[in-house]
């Protein structure tokens, strides 16, 4: 098999089935730049593209370019979920997450999910419909937490802040006398503002404290146990330098003991 490259620019060459080619052309706007010859004859079954995604630099807060080893790992053969090798890898990953999060929580693992699904897991597993949840809203993702809690039937008390300002701990703590949960975003991606989760933890009373660490994990010091955080969710696609699709998740023994599923069935499966 011989590959001829029509384009003078350096590129990776990938063979793409016609159906995928059609999608790329229609939705991404890429057209074949290379033609594949098979023993001198033109191959008609497949078209060959310059890989439009190689060399692309992602400069947003995430998804970012994965670290090379994370990128390479995506091409490895799958492991079965009950294989010893998978269980070892999962244990090692969970232990590294404990380190980066500053927690001893036994129940720390990457969920196969986006950061938003990690957020949802935090609410649906610990908040019963009708429970009071105080949400500090100082940006887009605080709004999302309030929305998720509300859709789950919680009585949501939002503490609104001007975009671009950190969470006002005093206002959040005094927003309700006895909430089941207080939720805040550690680093609000929509504004780049970091909030003092430690101060919330010191003043949370009996409430569970949920911290969204999607943007902060791996990029800032986090000490969940020292700060009194009971639950946290994160994402793999930002400072951890991995592809999207994993949501690191951790829950303390105290939060687990209060879990919404205790003694009853909930509307969720996991
Ligand atoms: C602070 C914060 N929370 C939650 C999310 C949602 O994560 P995902 O896009 O993985 O669902 C993001 C995504 O950018 C985020 O920055």
Better pLDDT: 238 or 27: 238
Q: What is the pTM of this model?
A: 0.82
Better pLDDT: 266 or 122: 122
The answer as to whether 132 is a domain residue is yes
Distance between CA 76 and CA 71 in Å, rounded? Answer: 10
What are phi and psi for residue 194, nearest 5 degrees? -100, 145
* pLDDT tens, position by position, 195-217: 999 999 999 999 999 999 999 99
Indicate whether residue 36 lines ligand 1 (CB < 6 A).
Answer: no
Query: Counting atoms of ligand 1 from 1, which one is nearest the CA of 187?
Result: 1
Ligand 1 centroid vs 115 CA: distance in angstroms?
5
Q: What is the CA radius of gyration of the chain?
A: 23
Distance between CA 162 and CA 243 in Å, rounded? Answer: 32
| Nearest alpha carbon to residue 188 among 100, 99, 61, 98 | 61
Residues across the chain: 270
The answer as to whether 60 is a domain residue is no
115 and 248 assigned to the same domain: yes
Indicate whether residue 114 lines ligand 1 (CB < 6 A).
Answer: yes
Indicate whether residue 211 lines ligand 1 (CB < 6 A).
Answer: no
What mean pLDDT is reported for the chain? 85
244 and 126 assigned to the same domain: yes
Containing domain of residue 200, as a range?
68-257
């Amino acid at each position: 098999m011989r590959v001829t490259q029509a384009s003078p620019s350096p590129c990776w060459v990938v063979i793409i089935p016609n159906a995928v080619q059609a999608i790329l052309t229609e939705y991404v706007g890429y057209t074949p730049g290379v033609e594949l010859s098979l023993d001198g004859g033109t191959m008609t079954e497949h078209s060959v593209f310059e890989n439009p995604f190689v060399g692309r630099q992602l400069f947003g807060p995430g998804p970012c370019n994965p670290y090379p080893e994370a990128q390479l790992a995506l091409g490895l053969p799958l492991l079965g979920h009950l294989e010893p090798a998978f269980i070892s890898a999962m244990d090692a990953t969970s232990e590294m997450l404990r380190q980066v999060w500053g927690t001893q929580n036994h129940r720390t693992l990457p969920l196969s999910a986006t950061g938003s699904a990690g957020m949802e897991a935090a609410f649906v597993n610990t908040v019963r419909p009708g429970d009071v949840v105080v949400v500090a809203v100082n940006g887009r993702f605080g709004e999302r937490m309030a929305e998720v809690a509300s859709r789950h039937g919680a009585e949501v008390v939002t503490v609104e802040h001007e975009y671009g300002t950190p969470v006002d701990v005093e206002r959040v703590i005094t927003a309700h006398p006895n909430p089941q949960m207080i939720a805040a975003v550690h680093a609000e991606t929509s504004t780049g503002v970091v909030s003092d989760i430690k101060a919330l933890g010191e003043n949370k009373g009996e409430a569970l404290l949920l911290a969204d660490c999607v943007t902060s994990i791996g990029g800032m010091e986090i000490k969940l146990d020292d700060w009194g955080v009971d639950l946290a969710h994160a994402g793999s696609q930002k400072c951890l330098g991995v592809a999207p699709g994993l949501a690191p998740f951790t829950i303390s023994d105290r939060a687990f003991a209060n879990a919404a599923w205790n003694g009853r069935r909930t509307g969720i499966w996991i």
